[in-house]
Amino acid sequence: MSTVELLERVAAPPATTRNKRRLPDLRRWLSPIALVALWQVASATGILPPDKLSSPWTVLRAGVDTARSGELGDAFAVSITRVGIGFVCGAAVALVLGIVAGLSDWGNVLIDPPVQMLRTLPFLGLIPLFILWFGIGEQPKIVLVALGVAFPLYLNVHSGIRNVDDQLVEATTALGFTRWERLWHVVLPSAVPQTLVGLRQSLGIAWLALIVGETVNADAGLGYLINNAREFLRTDVIVVGLVVYAVLGLVTDALVRLIERRALRWRRG
């Protein structure tokens, strides 16, 4: 790079990076589109038999069909309800435990050790137990999601609160803050960034837990749609189900990022 270029780069500040962010680099679409085209060609020429994997076009048509018949919408509603309830339950437990263990020494001594031990259990491996305990209805799936959500959120809330800057706490004490005011104005806000990291992790795991739970046994929901399609060798419907899962994961991730952007404005300045 020449000196002039370097100087121009230094002199031309954030405006350029911002423009770049607004105009996505279209070249990045080239290879994904090529891959889909290749897949279509492979299907059309019979290299890829439909009982192994349907062509993109068939998948698209299956998506439209299942959506029109209401099958997809129903499955979608069932699945998202499971994740919703499981997430709310798991997050509530994690927040309460994390805050108590983060704030009080006794809470930390009593709550943290068992949580740390349980966290090492592979929670997806608990499915057989859950089926024995809760049967094969909605409960085991919701509990599985709640469990998957609770651990990462707890760990992050807990460490977020424990790592509060003592200097800030002291400064507000000198300003006459009560215990509750310190909690509200200093301790909890300082735990927000770490909590949002935990939120993102736990939402990712929530979808994973749901998919596993639904695939093992279900009589409704996206997992059921996929399993049912397998019985009839409908690889097109299977792919539709997978794509919906993927889109849901992306949407929730984008949602958390939106929350982050709003809640952490002070970080970017």
Partner 1 sequence: MAEGLTVEVRGLTKRFADREVLSRLDLRIGTGEFVALLGRSGSGKSTLLRVLAGLDADVDGQVGVHGTVSVAFQQPRLLPWRTVWRNVVLGLRGRGRDRALAGQALAEVRLADHADAWPRTLSGGEAQRVSLARALVREPDLLLLDEPFGALDALTRLAMHSLVVDLWETHRPSVLLVTHDVDEALLLADRVLILDGGAIVAEHELANARPRRLADHLDVRARVLTDLGVTDHAPA
DSSP codes of every residue in 125-179:
GGHHHHHHHHTTSSHHHHHHHHHHHHHHHHHHHHHHHHT--HHHHHHHHHTT--H
User: Given the complex with partner 1, which of 20 and 267 has the nearer CB atom?
Assistant: 267
85/169 with CB nearer partner 1 = 169
Q: Nearest approach, Cβ of 104 to partner 1 (angstroms)? A: 21
At position 173, the amino acid (one-letter code) is: T
If the CB atoms of residues 102 and 148 are measured against partner 1, the closer one turns out to be: 102
> Minimum Å distance from CB 22 to partner 1?
23
List Cβ neighbours of 19 (8 Å cut-off, separation of 6 or more).
none
Residues in contact with partner 1 by CB under 8 A are: 167-168, 170-176, 185-186, 189-190, 192, 265-267, 269
From the number of C-beta atoms within 10 Å of its C-beta (0-12, 13-18, 19+), residue 141 rates as buried
Report, in Å, the least distance between residue 100 CB and partner 1: 23
Q: Taking the complex as a whole, how short is the minimal distance between the CB of residue 15 and partner 1, in angstroms? A: 18
C-alpha 131/C-alpha 129 separation (Å) is 5
* Tokens read off for 50: 């439909």
Q: What's the closest the beta carbon of residue 227 comes to partner 1, in angstroms? A: 47
Taking the complex as a whole, the smallest distance from the CB of residue 190 to partner 1 amounts, in Å, to 8
Nearer CB in complex with partner 1: 180/266 = 266
Residue 26 vs 174, nearer CB to partner 1: 174
Give the nearer residue to partner 1 in terms of CB position, either 107 or 193: 193
Closer residue to partner 1 (CB): 14 or 176: 176
Minimum CB separation from partner 1 for residue 7, in Å? 24
